[in-house]
Amino acid sequence: MLSLKQNEIVPDGFSVLISEEQISKRLRELGEQIAADFNGKNPILIGVLNGGFIFLADLIRYINIDLEIDFIRISSYGDQRESTGHVKVLKPLSADISGRNVIVVEDIVDSGLSVKFLENMMSAFNPTDLKFATLLHKPSKTVANIKLDYVGFEIEDKYVVGYGLDDQQLKRNLRDIFIIQS
């Protein structure tokens, strides 16, 4: 059930796809898996801005090992609801990832082109290990040859908002993930 305040910013035509409780439960599972996989390795998690910051912030609270974070900002959507297929870096990494255990944290993977771009770019820095985590994956839309190591939820090809995912920079602050009914 949505709180009154959340309900005020959820327009008609939005339906809950994944609840706050389901997200929290899945993040705990992913955090435990990452902690087990990287125990004693001090990984660096790279959050992909803007959408991935909420997922990253909540995920690291469930990873009970030492870790570092950094951020990169890329764009492949512009003001569109579909990826343009052209990826550009808007904010580069600050950290040196050479010889590091790296986990790139994305909010959503659809075509996979952004992940492929990040994989190629970050591999050039010779990390010891390069893994990818995503909250949401749309397998039916994935065209690039990619490997996702940690997936929160696989979803159908629907336009979703909330929990960091936006609609023209709005609705990121919703606690649940919603489908927008057109």
pLDDT band at 1 (very low <50, low <70, confident <90, very high): very low
Rounded CA separation 97/89 (Å): 17
Amino acid letter, 72 = I
- Domain annotation for the chain: domains and CATH numbers: 21-155 (3.40.50.2020)
**β partners of residue 45:** 69, 103
Rounded CA separation 55/48 (Å): 10
pLDDT in tens, 18-51: 999 999 999 999 999 999 999 999 999 999 998 8
Position 175 scores a pLDDT of 94
Rounded CA separation 87/78 (Å): 10
User: Which backbone phi and psi does 171 adopt, to 5 degrees?
Assistant: 75, 5
* Rounded average pLDDT over 99-108: 97
For the annotated catalytic residues, the residue numbers are 110
User: Which backbone phi and psi does 75 adopt, to 5 degrees?
Assistant: -140, 130
> 81 pLDDT exceeds 60?
no
pLDDT in tens, 105-146: 999 999 999 999 999 999 999 999 999 999 999 999 999 999
pLDDT band at 7 (very low <50, low <70, confident <90, very high): low
Position 125 scores a pLDDT of 96
Average pLDDT, the chain: 91
Cα 128–Cα 130–Cα 136 angle in degrees, nearest 5: 165
pLDDT in tens, 141-179: 999 999 999 999 999 999 999 999 998 888 999 999 999
Using alpha carbons, list the distances in angstroms from residue 1 to 149, 158, 159: 32, 22, 21
